[in-house]
Amino acid sequence: MSAFTASLKCCSCVVIALVAAAGCTTRQIVKGSDLAALPALVHAGETVRVTTAASASAELEVVSIEDGVLHGKTAGGETVPVRVADITAVEHRKSAPGKTVAMVIGAALGASIIGLKDSCKPTGPYGESKCDVAP
């Protein structure tokens, strides 16, 4: 195995590990009667897209939700209150552990196939295979 191939494999492993550590998320839209559970679903520091009954839409970083009011910070840094009663929908990111597990398993399988492929390259003047895998 050349130094370049070894370096490439090392970099691939690092990228796979970083992606797996980041995890997967999915967008969830909360609306209707589910908005009553908003304080349990959305937490301070999350970025959400809020749509109000007046059809106004804003992306906010949640500061707090208390006494029926969502306090959020705009991209400009201004903190604005939005009454939960006036909200028709909230879109937020939710972790998706199933997607994360599937991605990690897929990445591991891909890495092992690449490793197997590289370890079975023909060698020698007659192209003998170095591995014990039958064709």
What mean pLDDT do residues 63-85 have?
Answer: 93
31 & 84 share domain: yes
Is a pLDDT exceeding 90 seen at residue 92? no
For position 56, which CATH number holds?
2.30.30.140
What is the model's pLDDT at position 63? Answer: 95
- Which long-range CB contacts under 8 A does 96-100 form with residues at least 24 apart? 96/23, 96/24, 96/25, 96/26, 97/23, 97/24, 99/24, 99/26, 100/20, 100/23, 100/24
pLDDT digits (tens, 9 = 90+) for 96-108: 566 666 666 776 6
Phi, psi (degrees; rounded to nearest 5) at 96: -125, 85
90 & 33 share domain: yes
Q: Which domain holds residue 130?
A: 1-24+96-135
Burial of 26: CB neighbours in 10 Å, binned 0-12, 13-18, 19+: exposed
Is a pLDDT exceeding 60 seen at residue 37? yes
Is a pLDDT exceeding 60 seen at residue 33? yes
82 contact partners, CB below 8 Å, separation of at least 6: 50, 52, 58, 60, 69, 70, 71, 72
What mean pLDDT do residues 105-130 have?
Answer: 62
61 & 104 share domain: no
pLDDT digits (tens, 9 = 90+) for 40-54: 888 899 889 999 988
How many domains is the chain built from?
A: 2
What is the model's pLDDT at position 5? Answer: 55
Average pLDDT, the chain: 75
Q: Using the 8-state DSSP alphabet, how is residue 130 labeled? A: S
What is the model's pLDDT at position 80? Answer: 94
Query: Given pLDDT bands bounded at 50, 70 and 90, which one contains residue 127?
Result: low
3 & 16 share domain: yes
18 & 63 share domain: no
CB 42 within 8 A of CB 31: no
79 & 37 share domain: yes
91 & 29 share domain: yes
18 & 29 share domain: no
What is the model's pLDDT at position 24? Answer: 63
18 & 53 share domain: no
